[in-house]
């Protein structure tokens, strides 16, 4: 962690439990810059993308200034520095998800690409007519549309695990929905709309009992809860750097080593090959078999710096802070008369609060609160089937992270109250 110096060179004192969001906030240069000329930035859209601490920005700059070359190409010293930074990042990611080996870590551009890699490389080889893929009713389009496409290509059937009225997964229905025809179960660890934290291990056990594999969309959980692929017992897990304070353009696909070993490549091109003839090629070992062409090296290095940053702060401390802030936000937003979607308690959800104010379109709401420097997202949040299940076309959504404080929630609520006044 890069603790910010206070004026006079003293470090700010940490709050109870050693975690103080006011101190953390100072690590993020974006908060030094007002919006709308003089408004304090109230950033409540971290589920879309997180802000970047100085440690990450400086690491990317240092890479470009002192290590920049292509990875796994140049045998000169600069090239070796780039390769080392890139491969060190793989080890950081392996430790972060508790993978047994860095060979299980494939770099991608983010969660969406990670899931599409599985769709193409694993799906085309393993999913056939008559097979079934099970997804949940709360999936982001990234963990839904690729499976619709794969089913369309192969003649497999897509099935859906419903949610209940509180936005919790109906795991009681797993027995009937996971059958000997099921090849893959795809589940989000934490919903980007409802915030629901799903019982992934229970889903994985049901899938494995019939020989199916499990893919976990950890886009929201990796930054806020941390993930442990051994404890989850998943076969694939995907996340993006940009939601955990890292750069855009980098992400990870974790794959169980034995599963990756048996998978054909995704993209064809440089570095993913062992030997090439004019009419055929043999392929590299894992994970390089899945990393064709020049990768986003600086972004991957920045992702490792982001992981170092959040792990130094402690995922448990981040989660405890977000749980406390979410409980506060659930009460505060409810006090405006808004309808809130998702589980009722902060224990069951991450720091995401999707809501609607009666009679106010969420897009209008987001535009109005922006005038006060408050950034929230409005829309379907790339989860249109879930919106239909909730019976709404769209919601507003406030999402919190390690740098948010009660002041941010208070600013949102004050702005919502003002917006209500305009529409009454
Ligand atoms: N959700 C949101 O505002 P990418 O874009 O590939 O980094 O992540 C896709 C993705 C996959 N799964 C979940 C659960 C997600 O939340 C996201 C991204 C953002 O909710 C942008 S739509």
Residue with tokens 């090239």: 79
Residue whose C-alpha is closest to residue 137's, from 92, 171, 103: 171
Report, as residue numbers or ranges, the catalytic residues.
382
pLDDT digits (tens, 9 = 90+) for 290-348: 999 999 999 999 999 999 999 999 999 999 999 999 999 999 999 999 999 999 999 99
Give the lowest-confidence range in 4-13, 226-235, 241-250. Answer: 4-13
Going from the Cα of 399 to the center of ligand 1, the distance in angstroms, rounded, reads 13
Are 263 and 291 within one domain?
yes
In a domain, residue 40? The reply is no
CA 74 from centre of chain: 33
pLDDT at 273 over 50: yes
* For ligand 1, atom 8: residue with the closest CA: 111
Question: Ligand 1: which atom is nearest the Cα of residue 113?
Answer: 6
In a domain, residue 42? The reply is no
Contacts of 424 (CB under 8 A, 6+ apart): none
Which of 257, 284, 311 delimits the end of a domain?
311
Are 319 and 306 within one domain?
no
Question: Ligand 1: which atom is nearest the Cα of residue 192?
Answer: 16
* Model confidence band, residue 6 (pLDDT cutoffs 50, 70, 90): very low
Going from the Cα of 6 to the center of ligand 1, the distance in angstroms, rounded, reads 35
**Residue 70 CB coordination number (10 Å):** 16
CA separation for the pair 159, 177 (Å, rounded): 7
Are 158 and 259 within one domain?
yes
Contacts of 236 (CB under 8 A, 6+ apart): 114, 118, 122, 213, 214, 215, 216, 253, 254, 255, 256, 259
Which of 294, 311, 328 delimits the end of a domain?
311
CATH number for the domain spanning 322: value is 3.90.1150.10
**Residue 312 CB coordination number (10 Å):** 11
Are 216 and 286 within one domain?
yes
Q: 326: helix, coil or strand? A: helix
Give the ranges where 98-182 is alpha helix by DSSP (H): 111-117, 124-126, 145-154, 174-177
Contact of 394 with 379, CB cutoff 8 Å: yes
CA separation for the pair 240, 306 (Å, rounded): 11
In a domain, residue 70? The reply is yes
Q: Count of domains in the chain?
A: 2
Following DSSP, what letter does each residue of 43-67 receive, concatenated? E-BTTT-----HHHHHHHHHHHHHT
Residue whose C-alpha is closest to residue 165's, from 379, 390, 321: 390
Contact of 86 with 295, CB cutoff 8 Å: yes
In a domain, residue 139? The reply is yes
Contact of 186 with 217, CB cutoff 8 Å: yes
Domain that holds residue 197: 57-311
Q: Are strands 339-341 and 352-356 parallel, antiparallel or unpaired?
A: antiparallel
Q: How far is CA 66 from CA 54, 248, 271, in A?
A: 18, 21, 24
Give the CA angle between residues 390, 396, 400 to the nearest 5°: 110
Residue 17: the pLDDT is 61
pLDDT digits (tens, 9 = 90+) for 198-245: 999 999 999 999 999 999 999 999 999 999 999 999 999 999 999 999
In a domain, residue 46? The reply is no
Are 84 and 172 within one domain?
yes
Q: Percentage helix, strand, coil, to 5, in the chain?
A: 45, 15, 40
In a domain, residue 39? The reply is no
pTM: 0.96
Following DSSP, what letter does each residue of 268-311 receive, concatenated? -STTSEEEE-SS-EEEPPTTGGG--SS--HHHHHHHHHHHHHHH
* For ligand 1, atom 2: residue with the closest CA: 48
Are 378 and 390 within one domain?
yes
- Residues pairing with 132 in the sheet: 157, 182
Question: Ligand 1: which atom is nearest the Cα of residue 377?
Answer: 3
Q: What is the chain's mean pLDDT, rounded?
A: 95
Going from the Cα of 148 to the center of ligand 1, the distance in angstroms, rounded, reads 18
Are 175 and 85 within one domain?
yes
Are 347 and 307 within one domain?
no
Contacts of 417 (CB under 8 A, 6+ apart): 336
Contact of 189 with 141, CB cutoff 8 Å: no
* For ligand 1, atom 15: residue with the closest CA: 219
CA separation for the pair 13, 16 (Å, rounded): 10
Are 291 and 318 within one domain?
no
Instruction: Give, as one character, the DSSP assignment of residue 394.
Output: -
Going from the Cα of 49 to the center of ligand 1, the distance in angstroms, rounded, reads 8
Q: In the numeric block, which tokens belong to residue 155?
A: 């003649």
Burial 151-167 (b: 16+ CB within 10 A, else e): beebebebbbbebeeeb
Are 307 and 352 within one domain?
no
Residue 18: the pLDDT is 76
Are 104 and 143 within one domain?
yes
pLDDT digits (tens, 9 = 90+) for 145-198: 999 999 999 999 999 999 999 999 999 999 999 999 999 999 999 999 999 999
CATH number for the domain spanning 184: value is 3.40.640.10
Following DSSP, what letter does each residue of 81-135 receive, concatenated? HHHHHHHHHHHHHHHHHT-S-GGGEEEESSHHHHHHHIIIIIIHHH--TT-EEEE
Ligand 1 pocket residues where CB is under 6 Å: 47-48, 110-112, 140, 142-143, 188, 192, 217, 219-220, 240, 377, 381-382
In a domain, residue 45? The reply is no
Going from the Cα of 81 to the center of ligand 1, the distance in angstroms, rounded, reads 32
Which of 311, 331, 349 delimits the end of a domain?
311
* For ligand 1, atom 3: residue with the closest CA: 48
Residue with tokens 């099921």: 182
CA separation for the pair 373, 197 (Å, rounded): 29
* Model confidence band, residue 81 (pLDDT cutoffs 50, 70, 90): very high
pLDDT at 3 over 70: no
- Residues pairing with 217 in the sheet: 188, 238
Question: Ligand 1: which atom is nearest the Cα of residue 114?
Answer: 6
Residue 11: the pLDDT is 34
In a domain, residue 299? The reply is yes
Pocket test for ligand 1, best of 139, 140, 200 (most atoms within 8 A of CB): 140
pLDDT at 282 over 50: yes
Instruction: Give, as one character, the DSSP assignment of residue 267.
Output: S
Are 65 and 136 within one domain?
yes
Following DSSP, what letter does each residue of 333-398 receive, concatenated? HHTTT-EEES-SSGGGB-SEEEEE-TT--HHHHHHHHHTTTEE-EEE-TT-HHHHHHHT-S-EEEE
């Amino acid at each position: 962690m890069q603790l910010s110096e206070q004026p006079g060179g003293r470090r700010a004192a940490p709050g109870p439990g050693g975690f103080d969001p006011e101190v953390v906030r100072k690590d993020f240069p974006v908060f030094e810059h007002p919006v709308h000329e003089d408004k304090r930035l109230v950033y409540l859209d971290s589920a879309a993308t997180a802000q970047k601490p100085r440690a990450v920005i400086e690491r990317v700059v240092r890479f470009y200034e002192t290590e920049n070359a292509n990875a796994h190409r140049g045998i000169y010293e600069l090239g070796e520095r780039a390769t080392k930074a890139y491969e060190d990042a793989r080890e950081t990611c392996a430790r972060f998800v508790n993978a047994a080996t860095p060979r299980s870590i494939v770099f991608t551009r983010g969660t969406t690409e990670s899931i599409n890699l599985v769709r193409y490389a694993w799906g085309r080889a393993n999913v056939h007519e008559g097979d079934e893929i099970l997804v949940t009713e709360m999936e982001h389009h990234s963990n839904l549309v690729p499976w619709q496409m794969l089913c369309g290509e192969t003649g497999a059937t897509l099935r859906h695990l419903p949610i209940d009225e509180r936005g919790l997964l109906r795991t009681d229905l797993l027995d009937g929905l996971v059958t000997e025809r099921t090849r893959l179960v795809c589940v989000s660890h934490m919903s980007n709309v409802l915030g629901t934290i799903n019982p992934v291990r229970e889903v994985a056990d049901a899938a494995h009992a019939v020989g199916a594999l499990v893919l976990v969309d950890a886009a929201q959980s990796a930054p806020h809860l941390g993930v442990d692929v051994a404890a989850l017992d998943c076969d694939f897990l995907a996340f993006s750097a940009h939601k955990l304070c890292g750069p855009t353009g980098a992400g990870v696909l974790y794959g169980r080593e034995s599963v990756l070993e048996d998978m054909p490549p995704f993209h064809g091109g440089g570095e993913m090959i062992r030997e090439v003839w004019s009419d055929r090629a043999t392929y590299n070992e894992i994970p390089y078999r899945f990393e064709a062409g020049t990768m986003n090296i600086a972004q991957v290095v920045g992702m490792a710096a982001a992981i170092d940053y959040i792990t130094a702060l402690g995922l448990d401390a981040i989660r405890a802070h977000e749980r406390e802030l979410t409980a506060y936000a659930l009460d505060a937003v409810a006090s405006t008369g808004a309808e809130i979607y998702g589980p009722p308690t902060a224990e069951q959800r991450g720091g995401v609060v999707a809501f609607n104010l009666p009679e106010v379109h969420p897009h209008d709401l987001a535009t109005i609160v922006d005038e006060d420097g408050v950034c929230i997202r409005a829309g379907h949040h790339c989860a249109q089937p879930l919106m239909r299940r909730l019976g709404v076309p769209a919601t507003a959504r406030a999402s919190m992270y390690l740098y948010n404080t009660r002041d941010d929630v208070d600013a949102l609520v004050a702005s919502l109250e003002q917006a209500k006044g305009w529409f009454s």
